[in-house]
Amino acid sequence: MEDAMTRQIKLGAFLPGGGQHIASWRHPDQPLDGAVNLKFHIELAKAAERGLFDAYFLADGLAVAFGGGVEGGNAKVAGFEPVTLFSALAPFTEHLGYIATASTTYEEPYSVARKFASLDLISDGRAGWNVVTTATEAAAKNFNLDQQLPHAARYRRAAEHVEVVKKLWESFEDDAFIRDRASGVYFDVDKVHRTDHRGEHFKVEGPLNVPRSPQGHPVIVQAGQSEDGRGLAASTAEVIFTAHQKLHTAQEFYRDIKSRARAIGRNPSHILVMPGVSPFVGCTEEEAREKYDRLTSLIIEEDGLALINALSGGELDLAGADLDGPLPPAPPTEGMKSRQELIRRIADENNFSIRQLYQWIASARGHFTVVGSAVQIADTLQEWFENEAADGFNILPPWLPTGLTDFVELVVPELQRRGLFRTAYEGKTLRENLGLPFPQTRWVSDFNEAAE
C-alpha cells in the first residue's frame, strides 16, 4: 500500500464551456456564447491551473444533445470537439492535464490512437483518453446504423479497441530517435515496431505515425458503472470517473474496483477513483445556499420537465401534470428502466413534488451536489477521501467561471491547510501529477508491471 502520509486528493475539473446546472447560462456571470468561445475556455483552463487541478475533463457525444432543452433552452446543444479544443488550450498552460472523451464504437483505433498521441505531444505529456462506448441511438444514426449495437457487443469491441490503441502507442520506442546530422541517421529502424493486430473486430498493421510523448502515452480514463463497464475499467483504466449521491454507494464502488484490480494483478493505487462533485461554495453556508437558490430560480419550467423526461428515458408524460404534486405513476415500459427507477427513487426518498424533483436534478444531473462553506465542503471531501470512497474528485462547477473560481479560491486553500492537496505541481506530465507509473513499452525486456 501507498504511504498514507503522502496520499493526497486528485482533482479534475469538468468545464464544458457552461456550468453543470441546467440554468447556468442564464446566470449573468457566464458568457452567453460559452460553448463556442475559445477565450473563455482559455480563461477556464488558466483558472484550473491556478487551482493546481490535475486535469481539465470533457465528456463527449456524437450527436446533438437536445435533451433537457427541447424548447431551445439548452446552451450545450452544440460546441467544440474536445480533442481539437484541448489542442488549442494546452499551449496556454504548463501543468494542467487534458482528458478528452472518444468513442470505441464509432471511431477506429488508428484514428483514436493518433489524435490522442498528437494531443499528448502538443501538451508535452498531459493528455488523457476517457474511453466510452457511446450509448445513444442518435449517435448510431450518425454513423451508418439504424440502431446501436447491444451493450455487451459494445463492451467486447471496446476491450479490443483499447488493446489496439495501446499497442499502437508502442510503435516507436522512447529512444527510437537518434537524429544524427553527421551520419544521416534520423531514427533507429530496430526501434520502430509494427502492431500486427488481428482480432475479432480489428485488423491493424501499424506502426502508428506519431511518436511517444514525455509521459509515454495518454492516461486511460473510464466511467463505466455496469458489470461490463467495471470489468473494462478494472483491467485497463488508470482513472475512473463515477457518480454517487451517498458515501456508502461510493464506498461499495471504490472497494469493488480496487478488489477487481487486485484480482487481476494490478496495483490498486494505480487506479484512481474520482466521483463527481458539484459544489456551491460560500464564505458562509448561508451565502452558498443563496447561490444555489439563485440558480434554482433561473430554471425554466419547460426545461425542468424536459430534463425529467430525458433522464427517465422519455417514458414519463408530464403534460398537464400539477407541478406541485407528486410524480404520476409510470406507464409500462420497454425503455431504460434503471434510469426511470432512479428518478422515481429520488422523488420518493425525498418526498419531492415534480417541481422539487427537477430543481434537484437540474443542479448536477445525477452527480453529488454539495452546498456550504469551504470548511463544510472540505469536511465532506475529506470524509470520502479517507474512507475508501474516493482518491480524488471530478469537480463539476454549477456555473462558470464563478463556480470554478469559488472552489479555487475557497476550497483549495482549505484542503491545502489540511495537507490533503498539493501546494505545487509535483511533475510536468499528467501521469507524474496523478502519481501514475510511466508505461514502459513491451519492447523493454525487463518490464514487469507486477513489480511496480
- CB 415, CB 423: distance < 8 Å: no
By the rule CB under 8 A, 115 interacts with a copy of itself = yes
How far, in Å, CA of 119 to CA of 168, rounded? 15
Closest Cα to residue 358, out of 428, 307, 425, 431? 307
Does the annotation flag 151 for ligand binding?
Answer: yes
Task: Sketch the per residue contact string, 22 through 51, with a copy of itself: x for CB under 8 A, - otherwise.
Answer: -x-xx-x---xx--x-x---x---------
Is residue 60 marked as binding? yes
Closer residue to a copy of itself in complex, CB, 198/329: 198
**Burial per residue of 347-381, b for 16 or more beta-carbon CB atoms within 10 angstroms, e otherwise:** beeeebbbbbbbbbbbbbbbbbbbbbbbebbbebb
Check whether 429 is labelled as a binding-site residue.
Answer: no
The annotation status of 248 as a binding-site residue, yes or no, is no
What is the smallest separation between the CB atom of 237 and a copy of itself, expressed in angstroms?
23
Minimum distance from residue 423 beta carbon to a copy of itself (Å) = 29
Q: Which of residues 118-137 bind a copy of itself (CB under 8 A)?
A: 118-119, 121-122
Cβ distance to a copy of itself smaller for residue 167 or 230: 167
Rule CB under 8 A: say whether 70 interacts with a copy of itself.
Answer: yes
Interacting residue with a copy of itself among 2, 153, 175, 185 (CB under 8 A):
185
Residue 310 CB, shortest distance to a copy of itself, in Å, is 15
Contact at 8 Å (CB) between 119 and 86? yes
Q: Is 146 in the site for a copy of itself (CB under 8 A)?
A: yes
155 annotated among ligand-binding-site residues: yes
Which is nearer to a copy of itself, 205 or 290 (by Cβ)?
Answer: 205
User: Interface with a copy of itself includes 443 (CB under 8 A)?
Assistant: no
- Cell numbers 442564464 correspond to 26
Q: With CB under 8 A as the contact rule, which of the stretches 8-16, 107-115, 250-258, 338-346 interacts with a copy of itself?
A: 107-115
Number of residues that bind a copy of itself (CB under 8 A): 78
CA quadruple 317, 69, 346, 335: dihedral positive or negative?
A: positive
SS3 call for 216: strand
Which of 75, 165, 261, 306 is the binder for a copy of itself (CB under 8 A)?
75
Q: Of 240, 108, 263, 233, which is closest to residue 159 (Cα–Cα)?
A: 233
Say if CB 430 and CB 126 are below 8 A apart.
yes
Residues in contact with 15: Cβ distance below 8 Å, sequence separation at least 6, in sequence order: 41, 44, 45, 48, 56, 57, 58, 397, 400, 404
Retrieve residue 271's grid coordinates: 487506479
Does residue 412 belong to the site contacting a copy of itself (CB under 8 A)? no
Residue 184 sits in the site that holds a copy of itself (CB under 8 A): yes
Binding of residue 175 to a copy of itself (CB under 8 A): no
Q: Which three cell numbers stand for residue 380?
A: 465532506
Residue type, 323: L
| Binding-site residue positions for FMN | 60, 101, 151, 155, 226
| Binding-site residue positions | 60, 101, 151, 155, 226
